[in-house]
Amino acid sequence: MMQRVPEPELMDAVEQAEAYAAADFSSPNGAFVEQVLAAMPRSTQRLLDLGCGPADICIRLARALPRLTVDALDGSRPMLDCARRALGAEPRDLSTRIRLLERQLPDPTLERQAYDAVTSNSLLHHLHDPQVLWQTVTKVASPGATVIVMDLLRPDSTSAAEAIVARYAADEPEVLKQDFYNSLRAAFTPDEVRAQLAEVGFSHWAVTVVSDRHLLVCGRVSADQAAL
């Protein structure tokens, strides 16, 4: 089994953020949004998306649910500049429902129990300490909140990681290919994620492998787990 090799947390180089924002993630992002919509009650009003990047997922969610408001958090200003540009191309009744927050996790100023859904795609593997994500979730989620997190899976070997990059990013710029490879090496296995969840009392949450490179975590925060 390949050992985890952490990568830098923030994607704060302009070239890196621009390449990420320009890439076509419609397939995994669309699949993630479908999972969120299936798991989340239609009455959900306040959602927090952690590590939102260019906000493609936030925009898709806001399109699907016309009463949803989204706080889109990221610690990288260049990523949020891409997000701001994407929001600028949307109708005002959508863009005004998405608020961009430039914050780096862990962030002690985040409001307690404020959100009835928390989502995150491809943030977990960036965190040097993965508990930063799960502890943030317990703090910000209101009782009963839905939590859906998707991330990359760490392949068994460097050659398996190279094969995934070749399969899904062959035509992308070099900076994106390198980031993808680094991300695969920094990602966790499903068992590692289960162990992380057990530490915060979420061992009953489902961890499912949903593609050859993604895992999905889905759960609900109970009243006694919220803002522990």
Measure the CA–CA gap between 227 and 223, rounded to whole angstroms. 9
Measure the CA–CA gap between 123 and 107, rounded to whole angstroms. 15
Using CB under 6 A as the binding rule, whether residue 75 contacts ligand SAM is answered as yes
Q: Which of 39, 52, 147, 187 binds ligand SAM (CB under 6 A)?
A: 52
Rounded to the nearest 5 degrees, what angle is found at the Cα of 130, between the Cα atoms of 129 and 131?
Answer: 90
User: Which sign, positive or negative, has the C-alpha torsion 85, 88, 91, 96?
Assistant: positive
Using CB under 6 A as the binding rule, whether residue 76 contacts ligand SAM is answered as yes
Using CB under 6 A as the binding rule, whether residue 175 contacts ligand SAM is answered as no
Using CB under 6 A as the binding rule, whether residue 10 contacts ligand SAM is answered as yes
Distant-in-sequence contacts of 91-99, Cβ < 8 A, 24+ apart: 93/66, 94/59, 94/62, 94/63, 97/62, 97/68, 97/69, 97/70, 98/55, 98/58, 98/59, 98/62, 98/69, 98/70, 98/72, 99/69, 99/70, 99/71, 99/72
Identify which range of 121-129, 139-147, 184-192, 213-221 contacts ligand SAM by CB under 6 A.
121-129
Site residue total, ligand SAM (CB under 6 A): 20
Nearer to ligand SAM, 11 or 215 (CB): 11
Site for ligand SAM in 86-105 (CB under 6 A): 104-105
Nearer to ligand SAM, 143 or 173 (CB): 173
Using CB under 6 A as the binding rule, whether residue 137 contacts ligand SAM is answered as no
Using CB under 6 A as the binding rule, whether residue 218 contacts ligand SAM is answered as no
Using CB under 6 A as the binding rule, whether residue 45 contacts ligand SAM is answered as no
Using CB under 6 A as the binding rule, whether residue 7 contacts ligand SAM is answered as no
